C-alpha cells in the first residue's frame, strides 16, 4: 500500500456502469429456461433474490448451489454453471467503457470498485478485460460504501471521482467524503431508472446518459463538479 496521496483517484463500478449486467442476466434467464424449464428457472431467480436480501449483493453461483440442493438430481445444473463461468463478458462492455477507463488512467490511478461474491465477480472483471485495463487495481467488497476507510488506505487521494449506476451508493459515499469526491451517475441499467431510488436520493454531482459520454469531460471539469454533501432529509436513506 502507498502512503503518498495521489492528486486524484478514479473509482469505477462494474455492473451496469462498465458492463451491461442486465443483458447478462437476460441471457442467463433464457439459458436457464432452455435447460431446466420455466418453472425451475423462476425458482432459481426466487432463490437468487432471497440470497441477495440475505447477503446484500448478487451471488449467481451461490444461488445455483442452493438451487442444486433443491434439485440434486437435475444434471442441467452443470451446464448452467459452465454457461455462467465461461460467459463472454467482454461482449457486454458498454460502448467506450475501456476508452473511459484508459483516459482516467492518464489522469490518476483507476480502480474497479465493486460489490459481489468471491468467485463470479472476479471472473467477470477478468474475462471482460477490465482487470487488465486497470492494471489489476480491483476492489470487491460485500458493501463497498461501508469500506471507504480501506479504500483510502489502499488508494489514498486528495480527491476521488466515483462512477456508479446506483444513486444510493453515490449518496452514501458523498456523505462520508463530502467535497473530496465527485459523484458521477451514468443512467444505465434498471437501478438507474428505479423511481424510488430517484425520488429518495439527491442528484449526483454529474449525470450522464451513458458511460461513453464521460469522454467529453476534462479532468478540471470533473474536479470542479464536486458539491457539498446534502443534508439528510426525511426521505433520504442512511
Separation of alpha carbons 92 and 238, rounded Å = 32
Q: What is the mean pLDDT of the chain?
A: 93
Tens digits of residue pLDDT in 167-213: 999 999 999 999 999 999 999 999 899 999 899 999 999 999 999 99
Of 67 and 77, more confident: 67
Kindly state the percentage of the chain with pLDDT values over 90. 85
- Which fold would CATH assign to domain 21-89? GTP Cyclohydrolase I; Chain A, domain 1 (1.10.286)
Report the predicted TM-score, pTM, of the whole model to 2 decimal places: 0.92
Lowest-pLDDT range of 85-94, 122-131, 190-199: 190-199
Query: Which residues make up the CATH 3.40.50.1000 domain(s) of the chain?
Result: 6-19+93-224
pLDDT at 232 (0 to 100):
66
pLDDT band with cut points at 50, 70 and 90 for residue 238: very low
What mean pLDDT is predicted for residues 212-227? 97
Q: Could you tell me which CATH number the domain at 6-19+93-224 has? A: 3.40.50.1000
Per-residue model confidence (pLDDT) at position 200: 93
Residue reference for cell 451508493: 169
Percent with pLDDT over 70 in the chain: 96
> What percent of the residues of the chain are helix, what percent strand, and what percent coil, each to the nearest 5?
55, 15, 30
Sort strands 6-12 and 157-163 into parallel, antiparallel or unpaired: parallel
Instruction: Choose between 79 and 138: higher pLDDT.
Output: 138
* pLDDT greater than 60 at residue 2: no
* The 206-208 sheet, strands edge to edge: 138-141, 110-115, 6-12, 157-163, 181-186, 206-208
Is pLDDT of 153 > 80? yes
pLDDT band at 4 (very low <50, low <70, confident <90, very high): confident
- Predicted confidence (pLDDT) per residue in 12-46, tens digit: 999 999 999 999 999 999 999 999 999 999 999 99
**Integer Rg of the chain from CA:** 19
Amino acid at each position: 500500500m502507498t502512503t503518498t496521496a495521489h492528486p486524484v483517484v478514479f473509482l469505477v463500478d462494474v455492473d451496469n456502469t462498465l458492463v451491461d449486467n442486465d443483458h447478462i442476466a437476460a441471457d442467463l434467464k433464457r439459458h436457464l429456461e432452455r435447460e431446466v424449464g420455466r418453472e425451475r428457472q423462476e425458482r432459481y431467480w426466487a432463490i437468487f433474490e432471497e440470497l441477495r436480501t440475505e447477503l446484500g449483493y448478487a451471488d449467481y453461483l451461490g444461488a445455483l448451489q442452493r438451487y442444486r440442493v433443491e434439485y440434486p438430481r437435475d444434471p442441467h445444473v452443470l451446464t448452467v454453471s459452465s454457461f455462467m463461468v465461461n460467459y463472454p463478458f467482454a461482449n457486454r462492455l458498454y460502448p467506450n467503457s475501456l476508452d473511459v477507463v484508459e483516459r482516467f488512467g492518464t489522469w490518476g490511478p483507476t480502480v474497479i470498485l465493486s460489490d459481489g461474491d468471491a468467485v463470479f465477480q472476479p471472473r467477470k472483471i477478468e474475462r471482460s478485460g477490465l482487470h487488465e485495463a486497470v492494471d489489476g487495481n480491483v476492489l470487491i467488497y460485500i458493501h463497498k460504501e461501508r469500506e471507504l476507510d480501506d479504500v483510502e488506505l489502499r488508494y489514498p487521494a486528495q480527491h476521488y471521482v466515483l462512477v456508479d449506476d446506483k444513486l444510493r451508493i453515490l449518496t452514501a459515499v458523498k456523505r462520508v467524503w463530502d467535497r473530496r469526491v465527485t459523484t458521477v451517475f451514468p443512467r444505465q441499467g434498471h437501478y438507474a431508472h428505479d423511481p424510488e431510488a430517484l425520488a429518495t436520493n439527491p442528484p449526483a454531482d454529474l449525470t450522464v446518459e451513458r458511460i461513453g459520454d464521460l469522454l467529453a469531460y476534462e479532468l478540471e471539469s470533473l474536479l470542479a463538479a464536486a458539491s457539498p454533501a446534502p443534508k439528510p432529509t426525511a426521505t433520504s436513506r442512511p
